[in-house]
Amino acid sequence: MAWAILLLTVGLLLLWKGAGLLVNGAVGIAERLGVSQLVVGLTVVAMGTSAPEAAASIASVLGNRGDIAIGNVYGSNIANLALVGGLVALINPLRVQAQTLRREIPTMLAVALLLWPLLRNLSLSRVEGLLLLAVFIVLVICTVRMARRGLVPAVVADVPAVGVCGAVGRNVAFLVVGLVGLSLGARLAIAGAVTIGTRIGLSDAVIGSTIMAVGTSLPELVTCVLAALKGHHDISVGNLVGSNIFNTLLVSGAAALVRPFIVGQRFAGGVDFWIMIGVSAAFALAAILGRRIIGRLSGTLLLATYGGYLAYLLACTPAV
């Protein structure tokens, strides 16, 4: 138990330092290259913070545990918007760009709904995995092209400079070291958390749906909290929305490509699937009703929703 607590502590410290380097490097690159912070958040930062989900899900399918693989995707998506989004909104109300509300958030909902027909036969094949990866690649290319054509603002006017606009090489180094720190920190934190969960008597299902999902969402949590404290709303919103898109397409697709897997009914149009869709819709509704501001009240409701989700998981899956 002492060793598990040490792993968890070291992992969280690495996550915090890695997130700091990642945010500074990403903002620096955006400033140097004239690329919107939103684009950086939707691509580089989101991909980096989704790396733990990808690693965990691939490892799960290699162990013939498809429910953990797809459950990690669902649980992480819910945690990103309800837990991380709610907490960040409490710290500093999130401003959502109009184009994000019109384009990226509907895209997030659309790709999540795409899993419904693909999983209706309770499995995900290599061909379906390739389809998800193809959609992922197309979306990344479209985002970059729109940025080059000026359809995404080149400069975010309401985000102050943070003094990290140094050499591109230095910022790239910050970005790489930050991503490595996040990935390693997440692995250590998950290992410690799973050991602690097992020791206190939680079942594998509860550990996979809660500790693993939250653990792989720690990079998003730490990155978004740090970005919110610095006032980089576009990094936070872009990271949350982009990470969910990446989880659905990249993580699920890569896992199926490595090894086709089967899933339970709860993930194929069952309760868990619709909870994920409902939380995504609630996040969008909060931005709409708040006139593109997700305030503290909405943040509180999102956190309460996540609490209800945890209660559902614990009630439906008894402890060991």
Least confident among 75-84, 176-185, 278-287, 289-298? 176-185
Task: Tell me what pLDDT residue 159 has.
Answer: 36
Task: Tell me what pLDDT residue 148 has.
Answer: 62
Domain CATH for 246: 1.20.1420.30
Give the DSSP letter of residue 164: -
pLDDT tens-digit map of 193-207:
778 877 877 766 667
* pLDDT of 155 strictly over 60: no
In contact, 261 and 123? CB cutoff 8 Å: yes
Our count of domains for the chain comes to 1
Residue 123 banded pLDDT, cuts 50, 70, 90 = very high
Q: Which residue range forms the structural domain that includes residue 195?
A: 2-316
25's CB contacts (< 8 A; 6+ apart) are: 164, 171, 172, 173, 174, 175, 176, 178
Least confident among 33-37, 86-90, 238-242, 310-314? 33-37
* pLDDT of 160 strictly over 60: no
What residues form DSSP beta bridges with 69? none
How far is residue 74's CA from residue 306's CA, in Å, rounded to a whole number?
13
* pLDDT of 185 strictly over 60: yes
pLDDT tens-digit map of 93-120:
888 888 888 888 999 999 999 999 999 9
How far is residue 298's CA from residue 229's CA, in Å, rounded to a whole number?
18
pTM value is 0.76
How far is residue 86's CA from residue 102's CA, in Å, rounded to a whole number?
21
pLDDT tens-digit map of 278-297:
999 999 999 999 988 998 99
* pLDDT of 161 strictly over 50: no
Given the structure tokens 């290259």, which residue do they identify? 33
pLDDT tens-digit map of 292-309:
899 899 999 999 999 999
Give the DSSP letter of residue 293: E
Task: Tell me what pLDDT residue 33 has.
Answer: 66
Task: Tell me what pLDDT residue 78 has.
Answer: 94
What sections of 34-96 are H helices per DSSP?
A: 37-40, 46-49, 51-62, 66-78, 85-91
Mean local confidence (pLDDT), 265-271: 86
Closest CA to 219 of 22, 81, 10, 24: 22
Cα 144 to chain centroid, rounded: 20
What is the rounded average pLDDT for all residues in the chain? 80
Kindly list the distances between the CA atom of residue 51 and the CA atoms of 171, 223, 246, 288, in Å, as whole numbers in the listed order.
20, 13, 9, 30
Closest CA to 46 of 132, 128, 126, 108: 108
Task: Tell me what pLDDT residue 163 has.
Answer: 43
